[in-house]
Amino acid sequence: MAYSLIIFSPNGQEYSKREFSKLNSSLPRTITIGRTFCDDSFPKNIRIKLPAEDKTISRRHCTLEFKQDYSVWVTSQSTHLTYLRKANSPQNDNLVINEKNTGYRLRSGDEILILSKFPASTNPYWVCCFNDTEETEPIAPLYPYRIKYGYYLTSKKLLAWTSVEQRKEIQFTGQRLDLIHYLAKKIDETRNTAYLASHEEIIRLLWPGNRQFGFTPENIRPLVSRINKDLEECGKDAPRLIESVRGHGYRLNNCSVTP
């Protein structure tokens, strides 16, 4: 008898998972999702924290209210839009604007969508997948891609899960491996699966010392393009491994990182 909320960043990586027992008498009646401060402190009573740099997320963006009849309601607290994708709605009519101070009851499989300042090319939202084990068996969230990647820092190994049972090792060398490894290492160090490396940061990595002179963000693009092109061998539905955030930099996409 439990609820769960799995949060995915726009690039498809699992950011956080929270489970709430219905039988826990100390469970707060209201839990708030919001953005942390730049110094990593956090507003009082905010229980689910999203990154400080994503400024389209409000400090108190939306709340989950646990009622005595065991129903769970989501209410927006922000002037920035929050959406609700209903699991049982037709595909062409599955986005409901969650207007401020107007609550909606969550059903198992529903997704709360919070617009990001750094959208992925295929998804502009933070996706919060709600599940109620009394309504259904635990479900796989609808949002993540079928093909997912996993990077192992110690062995510098990249795997692609082409199905539940099958995974394929993808081998990179040189600057391509350097870039993938750096982005993965920063995710591990900062514990931020949405870590975004600036163009200047990547130029310093790829062309250290005096070699940086004259290099611009345009010099990074062909390298990223070759990495993503090589992954097409995993299948036509394979997502990009490295996502460009226009005007800001690059980040890993749909990839878990293991030390």
35 Cβ partners below 8 Å, 6+ apart?
A: 49, 50, 51, 52, 54, 55, 57, 58, 59, 61
Residue 139, pLDDT score: 47
Q: Output the pTM of the full model.
A: 0.65
Structure tokens at 6: 């799995």
pLDDT number for residue 172 = 93
Q: What local confidence, expressed as pLDDT, does residue 131 receive?
A: 87
All domains in the chain, ordered by first residue: 2-132 (2.60.200.20), 148-258 (1.10.10.10)
Cα 5 to Cα 92, 107, 135, 177, 219: the distances in Å are 24, 12, 14, 34, 40
The pLDDT of residue 176: 95
**What is the DSSP annotation of 107-173?**
-TT-EEEEEEEEEETTEEEEEEEEEETTTSS----SSS-SSEEEEETTTTEEEEESSSS-EEEE---
Could you tell me the mean pLDDT of each successive run of 10 residues in the chain, 259 residues long? 84 83 68 77 64 89 87 87 75 64 84 88 84 63 66 93 74 94 92 86 88 84 91 77 85 87
Query: Using an 8 Å Cβ cutoff, are 240 and 10 in contact?
Result: no
Q: What is the structure's pLDDT at 94? A: 61
The pLDDT assigned to 178 comes to 96
